[in-house]
Structure 1
Amino acid sequence: MKPLPKKIYLASKSPRRRELLRQMGIEFELLLLRDQTPRGPEVSEIVLPDERAEDYVARVTLEKAEFAQKTMWWRKLPVRPILAADTTVVLDGRILGKPANEAEAIDMLHSLSGRTHQVLTHVAILHNDKTFQLTQRSDVAFAAIPDQVIRTYCATSEPYDKAGGYGIQGQAALFIQDIAGSYSGIMGLPIFETGKLLEQAGIHIL
């Protein structure tokens, strides 16, 4: 007999992660963290001094998941597994977050042009006092991008809510020569690895 479907909480604002969970057939309810409070964001994405990219992406993901779990308890919501994820772009060990403005987005894409960089996505699931987590890494090779193309791309809305200033599922796919890793991981949620974590947490997809 096929197991009954289970619903999870998704602690992420990313529309890409919602799309990928739907692709997997996972029912979810959003449990969003606030960016604006009197004390600042509920989970800070500021990189700590000398923090390695792998440590950074894991720390931020776990903080998101743990805060969402506390919110579930405070609001007396139905107890469900909580999934959180965070994605960062890394070039020569330097973390490239979301660009704050057009000039920053242009600088990021100039630095990525003609180079291979890494995309790290950490996924964490909290369920029944247990934590299931992993980091998925992909290598992404960009072709050399003409300056005018970078400026035209950065004049669109696409770069500004994405680590590294680009989205693989959008026009930036035109820049990518090669990928070694997970396309969905670069989007923000590696489907294969997330499916394995959900299985470990007792959520059977198929």
Structure 2
Amino acid sequence: MQTPPLLQHLVLASASPRRKELLYQLQPGLQLTIQPAAIDESLVGQEAGEDLVRRLAIAKAHRIASSLDSSLAGYPVLAADTEVVLDGRPLGKPGSREAAVELLSRLSGRFHEVKTGMALVKGSTWLDAVVTTRVFFRELSRDEIQAYVATGEPDDKAGGYGIQGRGAALVEKIEGSYSNVVGLPLETLTQLLAQLGYRVF
């Protein structure tokens, strides 16, 4: 049985430095082309979190895959979208420091879900998946939340925190994929790449 080729080239439809770092963690020798997809990420009606991340990941992949330079045409395209979901509703990124304080106050002392939608495209083959991790925040005081928000770390993060940074101090436990909470579930991505015919080591 022939060994599948090692993944050497990938087009990432995201400007997220966290996704870039995770991909290099998975495959340090990867030649990565970054082509962020500019799309409208607004909710559609009463869209659930899982529906939102799947739709946005597919839309981003379509935007980039349909306009690839001929020199990149043979490479797989990966797009992803991560949302923090509470009681079934995506919370988005806080629009201000005050909004971040309120958002983290809602997460204090309870479980929420982090959902990442991924779309992986090569030629006419389209694969997608949604991965969910449950995250439990310990009880946080108002002063503690305000001090964390003042670090600036929540500013561009879904749900207002970064588990790979100082926000790890807020998290008591997780159930499921850690890399999913960072922004890209490497376990599931590896399985999708295998379906495309690639290995990562």
Q: CA 1:53–1:4 in structure 2 vs 1: closer, same or farther (change >3 Å)?
A: closer
For 1:60 and 1:78, the matched residues in 2 are separated by 22
> Paired residue for 1:37?
none
Q: CA 1:101–1:181 in structure 2 vs 1: closer, same or farther (change >3 Å)?
A: same
Corresponding position: 1:99 with 2:76: no
Match of 2:39 among 39, 43, 55: 43
Deviation of 1:90 after TM superposition, in Å, equals 0.6
For 1:47 and 1:2, the matched residues in 2 are separated by 39
Q: Deviations over 1:64-118 (max 9, x none)?
A: 100011221xx43421110011100011112111111101111100000011000
Q: In 1, are the aligned partners of 2:80 and 2:184 still within 8 Å (CA)?
A: yes
SS in 1 for 2:99: helix
> Paired residue for 1:66?
62
Match of 1:166 among 144, 161, 164: 161
SS in 1 for 2:84: strand
> Paired residue for 1:76?
70
Deviation of 1:5 after TM superposition, in Å, equals 4.2
Match of 1:31 among 29, 35, 39: 35
For 1:131 and 1:89, the matched residues in 2 are separated by 25
For 1:178 and 1:71, the matched residues in 2 are separated by 41
Q: CA 1:140–1:4 in structure 2 vs 1: closer, same or farther (change >3 Å)?
A: closer
Q: CA 1:77–1:140 in structure 2 vs 1: closer, same or farther (change >3 Å)?
A: same
| TM-score of the aligned structures, taking structure 2 as reference length | 0.93
Q: In 2, are the aligned partners of 1:61 and 1:86 still within 8 Å (CA)?
A: yes
Q: Across the two proteins, how many residue pairs are aligned to each other?
A: 196
Deviation of 1:2 after TM superposition, in Å, equals 7.4
Q: Which amino acid aligns with 2:22?
A: L
Structure 1: state its 5+ residue gaps: 34-41
Corresponding position: 1:143 with 2:138: yes
| TM-score of the aligned structures, taking structure 1 as reference length | 0.91
For 2:161 and 2:6, the matched residues in 1 are separated by 38
Deviation of 1:9 after TM superposition, in Å, equals 0.1
Aligned residues with identical type, % of pairs: 40
Deviation of 1:4 after TM superposition, in Å, equals 4.9
Q: Deviations over 1:9-42 (max 9, x none)?
A: 0001111100110011143211123xxxxxxxx3
Structure 2: state its 5+ residue gaps: none
C-alpha RMSD over aligned residues: 1.3
For 1:185 and 1:4, the matched residues in 2 are separated by 23
For 1:113 and 1:156, the matched residues in 2 are separated by 18
Q: In 2, are the aligned partners of 1:6 and 1:203 still within 8 Å (CA)?
A: no
